[in-house]
Amino acid sequence: MTTTINHFINGKSVPGTSGRTAEAFNPATGEVDAIVPLASKSEVETAIVAAAAAFPAWSTTPAAKRAQVLFKFRELLIANLDEVAELISRQHGKTLPDARGEATRGLEVVEFACGIPHALKGEMSEQVAGKVDTYSTRQALGVVAGITPFNFPAMVPMWMFPMALAVGNTFILKPSERSPAATVRLVELMHEAGAPEGVLNLVNGDKEAVDALLGDERVKAISFVGSTAVGKYIYETGCANGKRVQALCGAKNHAIVMPDADMGMTVNALMGAAYGSAGERCMAISVAVVVGKETGDELIKQMAPKVQSLKVAPYTDEEAEMGPVVTFEAKERIEGYIQSGIDEGATAVVDGRGLTLQGYENGYFTGGTLFDNVTEDMKIYKEEIFGPVLSVVRTDTYEEALRLVNEHEYGNGTAIFTRDGDTARDFNNRVQAGMVGINVPIPVPVAYHSFGGWKNSLFGDHHIHGMEGVRFYTKLKTTTARWPSGVKDGAEFHFKSGADH
Ligand code: NAD
């Protein structure tokens, strides 16, 4: 059944009025799941007005009281986790256990944000000069916005709004038009939890809505997660308009496999990291760099049958290891990359194209693909495919493998598989990436650390959630104070240091 998605503005679910809409699909069946309104500039304007009006009261609400809304939201999210997971899977296609895992990782950020009174504590130095004290506090920015991708419709919004609201901002969320159902549900639950009107707003939309946020001076900061081209545009436009921007973008995550790696463990790790969620994760491993001929031969020998027998099925099938990809266009793009890999001379050990599931003939299914003998000059090596395709690159030495990781334009996550502590330590020290795994294929940091890449995987100065989230969503104020008993007679004309007193 096709539903119609609404915006959520000033505490109410409101239908779109622009007349422009998009379709969100159920990728397993190819049927339209929901009609999504695409907000006009004036609809975004109503959300900005609501958020700006809510800011004075929300930002001066005691942090412990703001946290109480998040505590309640946490309870409601746990109670409704299965429903949220279903909404994720229905429009994204990922398996239900994966969707539950996604929602749970978002929940952990909520739990971190519940401790905001502690995280917001400032610093104080007594007696920096004669009877003079200095203290620093962090204050909210105002109205801030979040623009999120299709692939984590619950977790990525929860990287943003719980942190932004906890420190006292009001928020406008612009979810992906391809999978907004779960995100809308989170916003409803926040209101059930007691978020006041205007504190958290959601507008559905595309470039028009994003441009309205980018162009409005009441929006003080933007968090973006999505592709690199869009992220770069949002970073450059937002910064040019005087906003604080963090844009977390695309990836091509490499795993180095050393000759001493535990091969059984490595193969299982790569299977999950390359093909879980059909490779539609910014932390998916899409390149395995194997060091030494024997390592490469053994890896391919063990992986090929596993890739061949991946259980690809709709999320309603409990046995599913991997679902469909998100849209017909995504399937076409991914299968186009596979053809280009073959044309450029890579060895397609397993070619996942041409997969049709009985009863789901119109679904966007493509099987797992495994390439061997991929080289640096190939398009499948250089570009983010964002699908279930793993490229194996062979090298003779660790130094050559490290060079490949470091010279790639992206630097989101990376991993090394080895039993040798010296190699692992050297890798961690010299690798040019924001998140490193040592025998851990998807090193997504827990909520009380921070998530973010390097190079073209992140534009901006702050990673997301954890203490980086507190820093991004607040500005620092430093106060120097003295009282009359500390004031000497007469004017002072010369700059002095504390030690001069
Ligand atoms: P996308 O860039 O197409 O869309 C992201 C958001 O930007 C959506 O809300 C979309 O509506 C909006 N948007 C799209 N085109 C726009 C335009 N021209 N102008 C303004 N806004 C626009 O990304 P996607 O396909 O939804 O998500 C997949 C991408 O996200 C992949 O590249 C993936 O690596 C990346 N991603 C990165 C991270 C990370 O943390 N680094 C996490 C998840 C996904």
Q: How far is the CA of 249 from the centre of ligand 1 (A)?
A: 7
Phi, psi of 453 (to 5 degrees): -105, -175
Q: How remote is the C-alpha of 140 from its chain's centroid?
A: 22
245/257 same-domain check: no
Q: How far is the CA of 156 from the centre of ligand 1 (A)?
A: 11
**Which of 223, 60, 68 lies closest to 140, judged by CA?**
60
Q: What is the pLDDT confidence band of residue 497, given thresholds at 50, 70 and 90? A: confident
Q: Average the pLDDT over 336-362 and give the result.
A: 97
| pTM of the entire predicted model | 0.97
Full residue range of the structural domain in which residue 53 is found = 3-249+457-478
Within a domain: 56: yes
Asked whether residue 436 carries a pLDDT value surpassing 90, the answer given is yes
Pocket residue to mutate for ligand 1, from 94, 151, 232, most atoms within 8 A of Cβ: 151
The closest-lying atom of ligand 1 relative to the alpha carbon of residue 174 is 9
- Give how many domains the chain has, as a whole number: 2
470/398 same-domain check: no
175/267 same-domain check: no
Q: Average the pLDDT over 79-86 and give the result.
A: 98
Categorise residue 278: left if φ over 0, alpha if ψ from -120 to 50, beta otherwise.
Answer: left
Q: Which residue has the tokens 């000033």?
A: 10
Give residues with Cβ within 8 angstroms of 481, minimum separation 6: 132, 133, 134, 135
- pLDDT tens digit sequence for 276-322: 999 999 999 999 999 999 999 999 999 999 999 999 999 999 999 99
Within a domain: 196: yes
At residue 494, the pLDDT reads: 87
371/245 same-domain check: no
Within a domain: 444: no
67/184 same-domain check: yes
In angstroms, the CA 73 to CA 459 distance is 31
405/468 same-domain check: no
Q: What is the CATH number of the domain that holds 429?
A: 3.40.309.10
Q: Which residues pair with 348 in a beta bridge?
A: 371
Helix (H) or strand (E) holding 128: strand 123-129
DSSP state of 347: E
Q: Which residue has the tokens 């190939």?
A: 378
66/145 same-domain check: yes
401/465 same-domain check: no
Contact (Cβ atoms closer than 8 angstroms) between residue 411 and residue 384: no
**Which of 417, 423, 410 lies closest to 440, judged by CA?**
417
At residue 295, the pLDDT reads: 98
Q: How far is the CA of 226 from the centre of ligand 1 (A)?
A: 3
At residue 122, the pLDDT reads: 96
Q: Which residues line ligand 1 (CB under 6 A)?
A: 147-152, 156, 174, 176-177, 206-207, 210, 225-227, 230, 248-251, 282, 384, 386, 412, 453, 457
What six digits make up the tokens of 25? 């699909």
Q: What is the pLDDT confidence band of residue 475, given thresholds at 50, 70 and 90? A: very high
Within a domain: 392: yes
DSSP 138-174: EEE-SEEEEE--SS-TTHHHHHHHHHHHHTT-EEEEE
Dihedral, CA of residue 205, residue 249, residue 382 and residue 376, to nearest 10: -170
Within a domain: 467: yes
The mean pLDDT value of the chain amounts to 97
Q: Report which protein residue has its CA nearest ligand 1's atom 24.
A: 149
48/105 same-domain check: yes
At residue 176, the pLDDT reads: 98
DSSP state of 446: P
Strand 389-395, strand 369-372: pairing: parallel
Q: How far is the CA of 149 from the centre of ligand 1 (A)?
A: 4
418/362 same-domain check: yes
In angstroms, the CA 312 to CA 12 distance is 39
The closest-lying atom of ligand 1 relative to the alpha carbon of residue 282 is 34
Q: Report which protein residue has its CA nearest ligand 1's atom 35.
A: 226
Q: Could you tell me where the DSSP H helices lie in 370-420?
A: 379-382, 398-407
Q: Is 282 a catalytic residue?
A: yes
Q: What is the CATH number of the domain that holds 462?
A: 3.40.605.10
Helix (H) or strand (E) holding 289: strand 285-291
144/164 same-domain check: yes
